[in-house]
Amino acid sequence: EAQVTQNPRYLITVTGKKLTVTCSQNMNHEYMSWYRQDPGLGLRQIYYSMNVEVTDKGDVPEGYKVSRKEKRNFPLILESPSPNQTSLYFCASRGGGEAFFGQGTRLTVV
């Protein structure tokens, strides 16, 4: 079954404690991206990757890092999380057609 898997689904952490949200896809897609979704603001792209070792900033990259060492994995790293990064995060991958989304990670930074 074609899917994008992200973990964890829910995470509560404290300000400044580094965390990683994992994302993996099984469709051999070259393109992967991370979004955050906040009320009234819709989906905003954080980072994207066109292929292995190729990553680029989206619309809201500040405070985030990503890596793409393998085609299937695209982790999102928050080196020093802050409360304004409390949000719902989605990973997505895309071939030539529709984009497939992971289940979402609800992050709360206190």
Partner 1 sequence: GQNIDQPTEMTATEGAIVQINCTYQTSGFNGLFWYQQHAGEAPTFLSYNVLDGLEEKGRFSSFLSRSKGYSYLLLKELQMKDSASYLCASSSNSGYALNFGKGTSLLVTP
Q: Does 94 bind partner 1 (CB under 8 A)?
A: yes
Cα–Cα distance for residue pair 64/47, rounded to 1 Å: 8
Q: Which is nearer to partner 1, 13 or 101 (by Cβ)?
A: 101
Q: Does 98 bind partner 1 (CB under 8 A)?
A: yes
Q: Which is nearer to partner 1, 51 or 80 (by Cβ)?
A: 51
Q: Which of 12, 41, 52, 54 binds partner 1 (CB under 8 A)?
A: 41
Q: Which is nearer to partner 1, 15 or 45 (by Cβ)?
A: 45
Region at 35 (left for phi over 0; alpha for psi -120 to 50; beta for the rest): beta
Q: How far is CA 20 from CA 54, 76, 99, 103, in A?
A: 19, 6, 22, 16
Q: Which of 34, 102, 107, 109 binds partner 1 (CB under 8 A)?
A: 102
Q: Is 84 helix (H, G, I), strand (E, B) or coil?
A: helix
Strands 105-109 and 10-13: parallel
Q: What residues make contact with partner 1 under the rule CB under 8 A?
A: 30-31, 33, 35, 40-43, 45, 48, 50, 88, 90, 92, 94, 97-104, 106
